[in-house]
Structure 1
Amino acid sequence: MTDKKKLSVAINGVLGKMGSTVLIAVDQADDMDVVAGIDTKSNSTTLHLPISDKDIYLGKSLSDALDAVRPDVVVDFTNAEVAKKVFVDSIDRGVRVVSGSTGLNDLDLNEIKSHADKNQIGCIHASNFAVGAVLLIYLSGIASKYFDYVDLIESHHEMKVDAPSGTALSIVNSMIDGRKNDFEQNETLDELLPNTRGGSYKGINIHSARLPGRVARHEVVFGGPGQTFTMLHDSINRESFMPGVIVGIRNVMELKSLVVGLDSVLGFSRAK
């Protein structure tokens, strides 16, 4: 494959833990070419790629990078405040976005979708790019039809600032979409410590843990007469997200709007 046919990719937040992992994964892909890195913490104008052994543009401003190198795709793993601007600035320049940034709510995503629709620019936002996690979201929607009780436990590294995680919320939405009514929930009459049962939404108990040693772990426990059914996905390291990121970059070029979630990109969608 010639360089002309390769997808040119810019990585926002390139010096962060996810950004640096994305950098390696994209640099290893035969059909992609890393052309720029953006990070507010950068103090240099170039970044060396050890795999392809070349220097690329490095800057603090996404808009400056977009104007300088005109990539096909921007990959962004930052936060909601930054991500909203990434989507707008990229779409305005005809550049597609693959984002795993946390904290975007439905209103944010609706605004981004409207902007993408207006400009006919494809974008992908997913709460989790690990294939196993996407399957967990999907299968939770199927299982929710057959059980009336459920607890969701998610745990992440101690630096994660939002709770519950975006993946947990995607699991919750999948389970709600998969059934006609709320889950049943035990009523605690004597709660000795406040909030011991965790958060609650439509009968789903949601528990969040933040501690060193974790990357991302999601466990769904359904309960029924005489049985429990448990599904668990554990990301041991950030490399678990990279196959999904690469799939997202390849597929976003064929889209003309915002797609939320990686399920349809992988060939399946949430059960109704």
Structure 2
Amino acid sequence: MAINIVLAGPRGKMGTEAIKMITNDENFNLIACIDRKNNGKSLDEINHVCENSIPIYDNAKTCFEEMEPDVFVDLTIPKIGFEHTKLALQLNIRAVVGTSGFTEAQIDELSLLAEQNKTGCIIAPNFALGAVLMMLFSKMAAKYFPDVEIIEKHHNNKVDAPSGTALKTIEMIKQSRDPKKQGHPEEYEIVEGSRGGEIEGIRVHSMRLPGLVAHQEVVFGSKSQLLTIKHDSFHRESFMDGLKLGINEVIKLQKLIYGLEHVMDLD
């Protein structure tokens, strides 16, 4: 039986790719979209990639109650995405969230709600499977290379910095690395922010430029050597295999997981 899906964020570039993937998969059924600007219209009126008359709602609660989806996919912005996901879990609708920028407190709140309602939820800072592997390899490397900096590069319309991928990478590195002060003990910045942000001694640098999509380098330094673990997404199509995996796996869950690595077969 096909999985009935509601998608929030159909006008964005990520949403457009998601619509292509969902409508081309025989196991998925896109039944509605949520968009703040186009209430009452159909998806074929606002997005050329879809020829079906899929209804659009501006009110998530109305959409969820009338359409009764199996899975809700959110590809919006942090503030709206959090409210959407919270509402979905309250209504026992499983959620797959590609929106980055949630705070730790927000993730904790959603995790508690998912557990209480026994409703699956996957929040993925990055749906590109190569990016997930980059994070896992970085966790492995940090055990042997504790001096590390992260350079993440995204398109100039990204509103949060550092990226969710960078924060997730740091979270995973911290599992293998003790806090460590890096650089010269008396270093100083002539231009404020030159050394980037810092979490437990890990420096993170964010670039925002036209032409970029999603790119990250994790650079480890040691005596006479460097190890660089790098991933590049050149098109948002690169995220669709991970999104597809998330939708298929969230059906089996009764709790929230943060990061696709928890549902990937890595044995």
SS in 1 for 2:187: coil
| Structure 1 residue aligned with 2:125 | 127
Kindly provide the CA deviation profile for residues 219-253 of structure 1, in whole angstroms up to 9, marking residues without a partner as x: 01101111000011011011110000000000100
1:21 to 17, 21, 46: 17
Who is 2:162 aligned against?
Answer: 164
- The equivalent of 1:235 in structure 2 is 233
Instruction: Decide whether the 8 Å contact of 2:40 with 2:55 is kept in 1.
Output: no
Q: Deviations over 1:106-139 (max 9, x none)?
A: 1111110111111111110010000011011111
Is 2:7 the partner of 1:11? yes
How much has 1:54 moved relative to structure 2? 2.6
Q: SS state of the match for residue 263, structure 1?
A: helix
AA in 2 matched with 1:26: I
In 2, Cα distance between equivalents of 1:52 and 1:72: 21
1:51 is displaced (CA, Å) by 7.2
Cα distance, 1:193 vs structure 2: 2.2
Cα gap change, 1:76/1:236 in structure 2, threshold over 3 Å: closer, same or farther? same
Residue aligning to 1:185: 182
Tell me the residue number matched to 1:37. Answer: 33
Question: Sequence identity, in percent?
Answer: 36
Partner of 2:43: 47
Question: In structure 2, what residue type is equivalent to 1:169?
Answer: L
Q: Distance in 1 between matches of 2:4 and 2:112?
A: 25
3-state secondary structure, aligned to 1:228: strand
- CA contact under 8 A between 2:76 and 2:99: conserved in structure 1? yes
Q: How far apart, in 1, do the equivalents of 2:99 and 2:15 lie?
A: 11
1:255 aligns with 2:218: no
* 1:153-178 C-alpha deviation (Å, 9 max, x unpaired): 00111111111001000111111111
> Secondary structure, in 3 states, of the residue corresponding to 2:43?
strand
Question: What secondary structure does 2:55 align onto?
Answer: strand
In the aligned structure 2, how far is the partner of 1:174 from the partner of 1:189?
27
Unaligned stretches of 5+ residues in structure 2:
none
Give distance in 2, aligned partners of 1:84 and 1:72.
18
2:158–2:208 CA contact under 8 A, matched in 1:
yes
- Aligned amino acid, residue 260 of structure 2: L
CA 1:191–1:56: 2 relative to 1, 3 Å: closer
Q: State the shift of 1:192 in Å.
A: 2.8
Q: C-alpha separation between the residues in 2 aligned to 1:56 and 1:79?
A: 22
Deviation of the 1:254 alpha carbon:
0.3
Aligned residues: 264
Structure 1 residue 77, shift from structure 2 partner: 1.1
TM-score (normalizing by structure 1): 0.92
Distance 1:148 1:122 in 2: 35
Q: CA RMSD in A?
A: 1.7
Match of 2:115 in 1: 117
Q: Secondary structure at the match of 2:119?
A: coil
Q: Is the 8 A contact 1:15 1:41 kept in 2?
A: no
For 2:188 and 2:94, the matched residues in 1 are separated by: 52
SS of 1:102's equivalent?
Answer: coil
